[in-house]
Amino acid sequence: MKAIQIRATGGPEVLELAELPIPQPGAGQVLLRVEAIGVNFIEAYFRKGQYKSTLPLTPGSEAAGIVEEIGPSVSGFAIGDAVASTSVIGSYAEYALVPAAQLVKVPDGLSPEKAAAAMLQGMTAHYLAHSTWPLKQGETALIHAGAGGTGLLLTQMAVRIGARVITTVSTPEKAELSREAGASDVILYTEQDFAAETKRLTGGRGVDVVYDSVGKTTFEGSLSCLRPRGLLALFGGSSGAVPPVDPIQLSSKGSLFLTRPTLWHYISTREELEWRAGEVLKWVASGELKLRMEHVYALEDAPQAHADLESRKTTGKILLEP
């Protein structure tokens, strides 16, 4: 089968096309015939060696496709089922293994592209808006990178709850997309002081919650635009890692809360996984949640997909097709 392999860490060029044997499913595993692959920032962290893994590595954890084979001790799935997961073991490939416990069925009529595009960023937006800070009608959220994959979905979910959404983006084109997703105010954080602007837009009060996936360049400002006892959910570091923090800052800026959540801890039980994936896929299938998927690359073009993601050229989801 065709698969992408990383043999040494480095730039996008280390994502090399290789010919590998089709893996055999072990106990509790399913072999997936991959139809669409979700590209996520975390793969760039592994590619660069920022997150550690043994090499050679086939990257990727998100995909949708068809159950091709079933290993021992698997129940609830049959050969031919349309399925998706965010826990695929090397999804940048034509075939990949998945623990059945982390697999969900795709509703009838939903394309594999949409299923792959919705799973990871959709469930992330879901846990941020419904669990990390369960947004309420009338609250105000600041969402950084509002035209990004997670940003567009989180904005729609927050608006669906009845919250007011302020976003940050780097270009006027991205601002337009963020407004279309439901943001009432969009700040060009490459030109404006977003903390001051957020304070102005909230009449000096500050927002109830900041969802920050940008990290290094936004962290300080994010703390400064929260209302007292508000929460900063720092869930990524697209601009780099945040340096160590002195907790006294949380006190002086208004008895703030800070969390660094990860999807894995919000889908660790079967019940929670089925709840989040079920709602996200249902909303996508009904058209209530809109996906932006204009960046679709062939599997062998994975280096270009990574280069585009890291140079802020993309909006919405990036997919690879085997």
Q: Which of 34, 37, 57, 147 binds ligand NDP (CB under 6 A)?
A: 147
Sequence-separated (6 or more) residues with CB below 8 Å from residue 42: 51, 61
Sequence-separated (6 or more) residues with CB below 8 Å from residue 40: 61, 62, 120, 121, 149
Provide the pairing of β-strand 103-105 with 62-70.
Answer: unpaired
- How remote is the C-alpha of 173 from its chain's centroid? 21
Scan residues 48-67 and list those touching ligand NDP (CB under 6 A). none
| 212 in Cβ contact with 144 (< 8 Å) | yes
Instruction: Give the Cα separation of 173 and 151 in Å (integer).
Output: 15
Scan residues 85-124 and list those touching ligand NDP (CB under 6 A). 120-121, 124
Instruction: Give the Cα separation of 118 and 281 in Å (integer).
Output: 7
Q: Which of 111, 170, 184, 304 binds ligand NDP (CB under 6 A)?
A: 170
Containing 257, the helix (H) or strand (E) segment is strand 257-259
Q: Which of 16, 220, 300, 310 binds ligand NDP (CB under 6 A)?
A: 310
Query: How near is the Cβ of 40 to ligand NDP at its closest, in Å?
Result: 5
Query: How near is the Cβ of 79 to ligand NDP at its closest, in Å?
Result: 31
Query: How near is the Cβ of 238 to ligand NDP at its closest, in Å?
Result: 4
262: contact with ligand NDP by CB under 6 A:
yes
169: contact with ligand NDP by CB under 6 A:
yes
158: contact with ligand NDP by CB under 6 A:
no
Containing 273, the helix (H) or strand (E) segment is helix 270-286
Instruction: Give the Cα separation of 207 and 216 in Å (integer).
Output: 20
Stretch that binds ligand NDP, among 106-114, 147-155, 220-228, 285-293 (CB under 6 A): 147-155
Binding track, positions 205-234, relative to ligand NDP; x by CB under 6 A:
--------xx--x-----------------
Q: Which of 99, 230, 261, 303 binds ligand NDP (CB under 6 A)?
A: 261
Stretch that binds ligand NDP, among 8-16, 46-54, 258-266, 297-305 (CB under 6 A): 258-266
239: contact with ligand NDP by CB under 6 A:
yes
Q: How many other CB atoms are there within 10 angstroms of residue 268's CB atom?
A: 11
Structure tokens at 205: 């009060």
Stretch that binds ligand NDP, among 26-34, 49-57, 244-252, 306-314 (CB under 6 A): 306-314
Go through 85-95 and write b for each residue having 16 or more CB atoms within 10 A of its CB, e for each that does not. Answer: bbbbbbbbbbb
Query: How near is the Cβ of 237 to ligand NDP at its closest, in Å?
Result: 5
The residues that touch ligand NDP, with contacts defined as CB under 6 A, are: 40-42, 120-121, 124, 145, 147-151, 169-170, 174, 213-214, 217, 235-239, 261-263, 310, 312, 314
